[in-house]
Structure 1
Amino acid sequence: MSRFFLRSTQHFLDAAIVAVAFVCAFLLRFDGELPEQMLKRMVFLLPYVVGIRMFVLFATGVPRFAWRFVGMRESGRILQAVLLGSAILVLMRVIGGELQTVSPRAQYMVIPYGVILIDLILAFLGTTGVRILWRLRNERRSRARHNAPTHAGSPARALLVGAGSAGVQVARQLSARPDMGLMAVGFLDDDAMKRGLEFHGVRVLGTTGDLTAVVQEHQIAEVIITIAHASTAQIRRIVSLCDEAQLPTKIIPGLHEILDGRVELSRIRKVSIHDLLGRAAVSLDLDLVGSFIAQKSILVTGAGGSIGAELCRQIARLEPRKLVLVERAEPSLFQIHRELQSAFPDLELVPAMADVCDDERVRDIFELHGPEVIFHAAAHKHVPLMEINAGEAIKNNVFGTRTVARAADAFGSESFVLVSTDKAVNPTSIMGSTKRVAEVIVQALGQESKTRFAAVRFGNVLGSAGSVIPIFREQIATGGPVTVTHPEMVRYFMTIPEASQLVVQAGAMAEGGEIFALDMGEPVRIVDLAEDMIRLSGLDPHDDIEIVFSGVRPGEKLFEELGFDAEAMDTTGHPKIFQGKLAPIAHERVESGLTRLGACRSSQGRDQVMEALRELVPELQADARERPVLPPASLAGQEPAPEPGPPEPSQADSAPQPA
């Protein structure tokens, strides 16, 4: 059945139902014996009543609901539509009563109140009932289609934690899909008023505190967290209880991740480390961000990297006129261009393969495409690698930034947003120092340019290429050991979409010269992260998978910082974005420092490079161990982790900054 024919059939059924309801209302009101005058009145009004009710149904969005998903929310919307239609009929009756002394035909508008009331009840029951019958029909057909379960034996007994709307949806779908091999045995919900109630035939057996007892009593094989907006603390507590009971735990995605608010069984997944770290959904000032991006030419450097690619996805949703993807790695550029082409077929995309250090190529791109807003995300990010490749870090992070920033200034771009890092604060590494110099460059250019220059700092992102989470996952998959640099190593984390959205928001807020810092939430011990990931894999840390400490490497810090002491970090109009204005360094001094830095770029001596960097970054320390660093306040008082064992070679460190 085609979609058009299905929709047409459903609209016809709605029209037929409201017509029959109106006729039946007259017949019931007059006990089946309509006076001739009332019969004429009914026939005259019927097309108008059907038209009014159909108009109201469409106006309130009722036809957009999928009939196979009808539930309490949809029924409530139908009731609103029917009440509104009946209110219009009452208004017609009042007006007709006033006008019938002037015009005899106005008497046909006078509908008895009893008829309106009965019509309201029948129209609601009819339009809702047909949808419920349609849903039940689909569920029966689904059961018949999947009557031979693909899972061997009887279905696994599942316990649903959360008896809200999302949990009820899951229970309903499990009932309709025996082929999934799961049977909802009961709910747990911390609302004590729900204990003993049934939702779609599934009883609330207790609260989460009763989990262990319920699991034993009802022989539960799997727990599914069906709380739409579960907090990190809730998830951790439930996962911990399930670990004690040796039960696998799954979770539904947050409803903000699902456009239509529907929870599909296919979207239920295992609890991930992202759930345990817990980052709330970002709210954006859509008017401000929209005016910053919409119908403009936007350029993103490093478009194939973790942050660069997500920036492109977020920007594409805001309907720019053109999106220029600058990336030097061919596979990454091909992948992000292909993805965006498929998702946004009407958007003009320009895949520009280029090295940001190539001044001539960069200027050609600016001249050809005239970008109005630039997001500079291209950077070398790995701290240990940049310690032994200092020249490349300086070339890409410093002089690449200067090349793109100068082009933005020369071609009159409106805004330039540098994606920076918390490692630029009191840096101890080559990578962090070069990113701080990049901040200095854009601030210096901003003093003399009409372009609004700004930088946005944040910490580590979850799951970026080469970061700690995929490395730990790989080490766990091979049986360990999981290597951590130091038992007290601490980092701030945020998700890639969250970081990208806030970078765009901060760019829209910039007036020129700002260095923004994002709210990174609570710091996380890397060893705790490793232990959580091992447990989520169904294993025991230190027993099944060994954790070894490899020692802090050159350039690394135990604790990252989010702002300078001399930098007054002020609040902004967004709760997750803070603003600090450092006094910019004079442009002449910056150019002098860059000349010296360029001269020693090929030097093999780290000390010489660090001395040149220190001219532009006076707060630079040669090594993290030169100065004591106190842990973040939120970790004060926690039990220290075990002392590190013998150093072993490792590539797992704090998650590096995104490209």
Structure 2
Amino acid sequence: MVMAVDGVTAEFEASAPKGGNALSTTVYRMPVVARRVLLVAWDGLSWVLAMLAFLLVRYDFNLSNAQWDWVLAYTGIAVALQVAAGLATQLYLGRNRIGSFAEASWMGILVAVIALVLGLIFSAISNDFPRGVAIMLPPIALVVMISARWAFRSMVDARPRSARQDAVPALVYGAGNAGYQVAQLMDLAEEAPYRIIGFIDDARGKSKLRIRNHPVLGRGKDLIRVAKERGAQAVILAISNARPRLIQRLSEECDEHGLELMIIPPLREMVGGQVTLGSLRQINVADLLGRRPIKTDLSAIADYITGKTVLVTGAGGSIGSEIALQVHKLGPAKLVLLDRDESALHGVQLDLYGNGLLDTDDMVLCDIRDEDALDLVFQEHRPEVVFHAAALKHLPMLERFPFEGWKTNVLGTRNVLRAAHAVGVQRFVNISTDKAAAATSVLGRTKRLAERLTAWYAKTYDVPYLSVRFGNVLGSRGSVLISFRSQIEKGGPVTVTHPDVTRYFMTIPEACELVLQAGAIGKPGDVLVLDMGEPVKILDVAKRMIAESKKDIEIHFTGLRHGEKMHEVLFSGMEAGAPSAHPLISEVHVPELDPFFVPDEPEDHDHVLEILDTERTSHP
């Protein structure tokens, strides 16, 4: 079994180094087994050399026969234990890279254990054994072992560069650990595609730093100047958690000056957190939007989900199905999935259980508008936790059909709340939207009414019923990314409402993970607002997707639609976000709305608009 082997050399066994001294060539051409045997022999010899050096300096070899016998016995046993323990711990079988910090640590532990055991035993059984040998021999032997490894690594690092003749001269942006890994890859890999000519880093303290003998040539503002002076043709962004604003700026600068921009992906996308040649890639839309690591308190979430009966409305939708997936992993006693779309239920059952038979009682076909049918479902399953994700969400469609938005988003939510309270649901999480803040559209106003209804039940009955508000999610059905992708596949044009319009984005798993966390920390009546990161220009998203397609596609501007905002907000002017127990979740207060005052049957389309207008002016 060949592991990380022989450490550094395993990466380059395809061929011996071109040029270099005879020793370098000899080492690289050695078979793996021969190199390992050489390593074992050197470590054994290190004990012998350490013994001779110590006895010469300390005793001038002037020992009695008995002392010689004990010292030789100690050294021989130490060598045997070193080899046996090294093989047992796979130290000599490629467990770590030769000369790496990990290998040095293991070597130190191994020698320390041998020294402690043998020192105690030999000191206890014989007065003729020199105690200084037990104290000084092991550290000297360790120094000798590590010295050889240092020499080996120095030889490897100093070997001739193997970049291709057509290797692209590149600057590395980021002189941290990731930047070091990138430089090491390019310096050591055979036929490296890039030739590193220097680093760029925004930290002032790194101005004189050299990474693998490559200098830091300037800060971010100096990128273009340095690239021109040094003849760079590419920039490698070696910051695994780079902010979207930085990525966007670099993308624009590199495009403007004809530089190729490559990035390393986030740590979670790299195996073992290590940069490889295969992990270098061009930027994509997700990079522009920015993905942050989400820290959740799984124990708190599990407390209210594990072993409970959980019901998800709108379970076939993008958000509902992801909530179902994450809840399923937490081990509920029963997971009831409710949707009015049988095909959507079929899809989520396939994802969760690997079959789509739809023949179990946890798959419920029901419209939340149907109060009687909904009551029967809640009476049968008696859920303890409800995630209410069912809603109509397409803004322009609801502007045309506000009555439909009223029936689903307002009356439907009221029906679910009534049914939940009737069977004693312990925790209720209503999925809302950032469009409910300073609502200008039918979608935003109906969802705000849903928030207020939820708050009324929470305050009236003192139960943890709450709402969670967030913006657009990447890849959800009907999202702008899906629309752009479809338009690009058809050859364009790509339609954008306005060149300056911005939106907040999250990934579906990120949003749902925070929804579950919000359910754990929310208090009765809370509206919890998820931190959406930085708003992103829709035009930038469109340009990036067109660039990824490598097609020549036009962008047409259609103008903002009725009820649509130029820039979404997470809080209205009347709302002040307060921090919650989670750094990425804020809380706001919305006034309660007694369901008694929600008319079951508005007279007509205009009556619905009148009610919603009243909501907008009275509760901005």
State the TM bucket, normalised to the shorter chain.
Answer: 0.7 to 0.9
SS of residue matched to 1:80: helix
| CA pair 248-287 structure 1, distance change in 2 beyond 3 A | same
The answer to whether the Cα contact below 8 Å between 1:412 and 1:450 also exists between their aligned partners in 2 is no
After TM superposition, the structure 1 stretch with the greater mean CA deviation from structure 2, 261-270 or 313-322, is 313-322
How far does the alpha carbon of each residue in 1:186-225 deviate from its partner, in whole angstroms, 9 at most, with x for none?
3432257767976568665655455445545665554332
How far does the alpha carbon of each residue in 1:311-357 deviate from its partner, in whole angstroms, 9 at most, with x for none?
34544565656655444445544555544558xxxxxx997253352
| CA pair 437-583 structure 1, distance change in 2 beyond 3 A | closer
Q: Which residue of 2 aligns with 1:650?
A: none
Cα shift at 1:384: 0.8
Q: Which residue of 1 aligns with 2:421?
A: 409
Q: Which residue of 2 aligns with 1:77?
A: 102
| CA pair 299-160 structure 1, distance change in 2 beyond 3 A | farther
Q: 1:182 aligns with which of 168, 174, 193?
A: 193
Number of residue-to-residue matches in the alignment: 575
Q: Which residue of 1 aligns with 2:138?
A: 116
| CA pair 471-317 structure 1, distance change in 2 beyond 3 A | same
Matches within 5 A, 1:385-464: 385-447=397-459, 449=461, 451-464=463-476
SS of residue matched to 1:378: coil
SS of residue matched to 2:262: strand
Q: Give the letter for the 1:41 counterpart.
A: Y
Q: Structure 2: how far apart are the matches of 1:531 and 1:611?
A: 40
Q: Which residue of 2 aligns with 1:611?
A: 610
Q: 1:166 aligns with which of 175, 178, 181?
A: 178
Q: Structure 1: how far apart are the matches of 2:276 and 2:464?
A: 45
Cα shift at 1:514: 1.0
Matches within 5 A, 1:469-618: 469-475=481-487, 480-486=492-498, 489-524=501-536, 526-527=538-539, 530=542, 545-550=554-559, 552-586=560-594, 590-593=595-598, 596=599, 598-600=600-602, 605-613=604-612
SS of residue matched to 2:528: strand
Q: Give the letter for the 2:105 counterpart.
A: Q
Q: Structure 2: how far apart are the matches of 1:510 and 1:261?
A: 34
The answer to whether the Cα contact below 8 Å between 1:567 and 1:581 also exists between their aligned partners in 2 is yes
Q: Give the letter for the 2:590 counterpart.
A: L
Q: Which residue of 2 aligns with 1:21?
A: 43
Larger Rg computed on CA atoms: 2
Correspondence 1:35 to 2:91:
no
Cα shift at 1:161: 2.7
Q: Structure 2: how far apart are the matches of 1:289 and 1:19?
A: 55
The answer to whether the Cα contact below 8 Å between 1:417 and 1:454 also exists between their aligned partners in 2 is yes
Matches within 5 A, 1:141-540: 154=166, 156-173=168-185, 182-190=193-201, 199=211, 207-212=219-224, 215-216=227-228, 220-258=232-270, 260-278=272-290, 280-294=292-306, 296-315=308-327, 323-330=335-342, 332-340=344-352, 352=363, 354-357=365-368, 371-447=383-459, 449=461, 451-475=463-487, 480-486=492-498, 489-524=501-536, 526-527=538-539, 530=542
Q: Structure 1: how far apart are the matches of 2:427 and 2:465?
A: 6
In structure 2, stretches of 5+ residues that fail to align are 7-31, 56-60, 62-66, 355-359
The answer to whether the Cα contact below 8 Å between 2:469 and 2:527 also exists between their aligned partners in 1 is yes
Q: Structure 1: how far apart are the matches of 2:353 and 2:150?
A: 41
Cα shift at 1:116: 0.8
Sequence identity percentage: 34
In structure 1, stretches of 5+ residues that fail to align are 137-142, 343-348, 622-659
Cα shift at 1:503: 1.7
Q: TM-score, normalised by structure 1?
A: 0.70
Q: Structure 1: how far apart are the matches of 2:147 and 2:315?
A: 54
How far does the alpha carbon of each residue in 1:434-453 deviate from its partner, in whole angstroms, 9 at most, with x for none?
21222223223324557521
Cα shift at 1:509: 0.4
Cα shift at 1:420: 0.5
Q: Structure 2: how far apart are the matches of 1:223 and 1:366?
A: 58
Cα shift at 1:82: 3.3
The answer to whether the Cα contact below 8 Å between 1:228 and 1:252 also exists between their aligned partners in 2 is yes
SS of residue matched to 2:139: helix
Aligned Cα root-mean-square deviation (Å): 5.0
Q: Give the letter for the 2:296 counterpart.
A: L
Cα shift at 1:239: 1.7
The answer to whether the Cα contact below 8 Å between 1:476 and 1:545 also exists between their aligned partners in 2 is no
After TM superposition, the structure 1 stretch with the greater mean CA deviation from structure 2, 450-459 or 106-115, is 106-115
SS of residue matched to 1:112: helix
The answer to whether the Cα contact below 8 Å between 2:576 and 2:588 also exists between their aligned partners in 1 is yes
Cα shift at 1:553: 2.6
Cα shift at 1:415: 1.6
The answer to whether the Cα contact below 8 Å between 1:444 and 1:584 also exists between their aligned partners in 2 is yes
Q: TM-score, normalised by structure 2?
A: 0.74
